[in-house]
Amino acid sequence: MKRAIIAAALSILGTVSQAGTPVVVGVAASHSGNSWRFDVSLRHADEGWNHYADGWGVYLENGTELGYRFLTHPHVNEQPFTRSLGNVKIPPGTGWVKIIPHDLVHGDGEAYLVELKR
H/E element holding 9? helix 2-17
Question: Strand pairing partners for 55?
Answer: 70, 102
Global pTM value: 0.81
Distance CA 102, CA 111 (A): 10
**pLDDT score of 33:** 86
20 band by pLDDT with thresholds 50, 70 and 90 = confident
> Would you say residue 110 has pLDDT above 90?
yes
**pLDDT score of 14:** 38
Closest to 37 measured CA to CA, from 99, 109, 80: 99
Q: What is the pLDDT of residues 76-105, one digit of tens each?
A: 888 899 999 999 999 999 999 999 999 999
Instruction: Tell me the pLDDT of the chain averaged across its residues.
Output: 85
Question: Strand pairing partners for 36?
Answer: 31, 88
Q: For each of the domains in the chain, give its residue range(s) and CATH number, in order of start.
A: 21-115 (2.60.40.10)
19 band by pLDDT with thresholds 50, 70 and 90 = low
**pLDDT score of 28:** 97
